[in-house]
Amino acid sequence: MSLYAVGDLHLSLGTDKPMDIFGGWHDYVARIRSNWERLVSDDDTVVICGDVSWAMKLENTICDFRFIEELPGKKIILKGNHDYWWNTKKKMDAFLCENGFFTISILHNNSFACGDIAICGTRGWSYDCPQSEINILLRECGRLKMSLDSARDTGLRPVVFLHYPPVYGDYRCDEIMDILHEYDITACCYGHLHGPAHHRARTGDVEGINMKLVACDYTNFMPVLISG
């Protein structure tokens, strides 16, 4: 039973917004499927770190979620900045159940167990957050704490999954990083960064935390092994 992570699938199977127009994204859906099926088994878990679907409404995600459902393993999805379809967890859980998407779960103020790891996380927010968006950042901090608190009594090692990077180049999202240190987090995965932004991504040891960028165009459209 292994744990993987990948971010930014940017699926548009039910909408007309393919990513193939961008450099390096040619045949990306087929590449995602091929790599996923080669690496992931039905006993494994994959965390998808946001920007899952370009659909604007939850009901328009069906084609994209069906694609994910048909891939091997259990999938845990968190919110990205382009997931405009995101809704209340109650409505999303009901939608998944009604449509038979039984291998997909939502990470939202909660956590999941995978072997000896507690999967925790939230969307996060920008490292250069303007004052007008500070309340959004603080809500994300609250969600991250709720997720981590939900795992505290499990005895499992918490690993944090975000969409936004908590560090980028010389920038540091103090509020998010302070929480990671408060909860003694030693591993954190994130997405969001594409193209030229990859060059300023912080990976490896950052303040004692093993940072991994898992945006799929950075990983060559492959899920990244986290544990197992």
The CATH number for 101's domain is: 3.60.21.10
**pTM of model > 0.85:** yes
Instruction: Give the per-residue pLDDT at 57.
Output: 97
What does the alpha-carbon distance between residue 219 and residue 98 come to, in Å, rounded to a whole number?
Answer: 33
Q: Which domain holds residue 86?
A: 3-227
- Give the sign of the dihedral formed by CA 207, CA 209, CA 215, CA 218: positive
What does the alpha-carbon distance between residue 22 and residue 142 come to, in Å, rounded to a whole number?
Answer: 35
Instruction: Give the per-residue pLDDT at 98.
Output: 98
> What tens-digit pLDDT sequence spans the chain (228 residues)?
899 999 999 999 988 777 777 778 899 999 999 999 999 999 999 999 999 999 999 999 999 999 999 999 999 999 999 999 999 999 999 999 999 999 999 999 999 999 999 999 999 998 888 888 999 999 999 999 999 999 998 999 999 999 999 999 999 999 999 999 999 999 999 999 999 999 999 999 999 999 999 999 999 999 999 998
Tally of domains in the chain: 1
